[in-house]
Structure 1
Amino acid sequence: MNLPKRAEDAHTTLAAAFNTGDVATVMSMYDVNGIIVPEPGKPVSGTEQFAAAIKAILSIKGKMEIKTVYCLQTGDIAVGRSEWSITDGDDVKISAKGVEVMKRQTDGTWKIVIDHAFGAEAGLIA
């Protein structure tokens, strides 16, 4: 899996990574020193906790789709707002509105530093 060369492509690349079903492929999209919030109110950081969070998400069998609502970039930092879902045919297993912070790497690719999968849900207190 090639990491995105543009911040605005991070959501599409992340969905493709999840749809491989491979933990290592998904992990490659993240800076594991950052934060992932796989469920509201439960932020985690570090390789082991990232892997556990990703395995939990991958256990929701289905196809992930991520729509980019916006992506704002300044220099090597970008913030994106997403609407994402995991579906199995017509059955929506989970859907939410997220916020992601991305950082350009020294090789020009982008990784996600903060992934708040539910960060744009109405009424959510982070």
Structure 2
Amino acid sequence: MQSHDLKQIIKNADHAINQENFDDLMNFYSEDAILVVKPGMLAKGKAEIRRAFEAIANYFNHSLIVNQEKMEIIETGDTALVIAKAILSANQKKDSEFSMERTATYVFKKEVDGTWRCVIDNSYGAELLQ
């Protein structure tokens, strides 16, 4: 598959998470975006999403590292579905080290100015069904 703008956008978002640069991270999301914090818990809108990422950073003792190993992008019109192999790790978590691989799903909408914004951020992917 050819390179897609969304690959770099997601890489930039991961970098913002890893650096805890939540101001830059909020530019990644639409105003009405939804983040799956964990199964059964959603953050809706940028203010809730920011608070969720701050809590996640605290939970992992400020050592969370997020990377996407592979991505498939399915695009039609102004909408794109991204399926990614997400690797999460934290070496300073208070109760133990943490490492996990997930098949994440993200939905993006392209705004009138051509900017892609994440509208649904679901790092759990189909695991939500379990």
TM-score range, shorter chain: 0.7 to 0.9
CA distance in 1, matches of 2:38, 2:15: 21
Report the identity percentage: 24
Q: Could you state the TM-score of these two structures normalised by the residue count of structure 1? A: 0.78
Q: Could you state the TM-score of these two structures normalised by the residue count of structure 2? A: 0.76
Unaligned runs of 5+ in 1: none
Q: Determine if contact 1:11/1:68 at 8 Å carries over to the other structure.
A: no
Aligned length: 119
Tell me, yes or no, if structure 1 residue 64 matches structure 2 residue 70: no
TM superposition outliers: structure 1 runs of 4+ over 4 Å: none
Where relative contact order (Cα < 8 A, 6+ residues apart) is larger, the structure is: 1
Q: Deviations over 1:60-106 (max 9, x none)?
A: 213221233311111111000122223246x5444422110001122
1:29 Cα offset (Å): 0.6
Between structures 1 and 2, the one with greater helix share: 2
**Equivalent of 1:125 in 101, 124, 129:** 129
Unaligned runs of 5+ in 2: 92-96
- Aligned-residue Cα RMSD (Å) equals 2.2
Q: How is 1:45-56 mapped onto 2 (pairs within 5 angstroms)?
A: 45-56=44-55
CA distance in 2, matches of 1:62, 1:46: 22
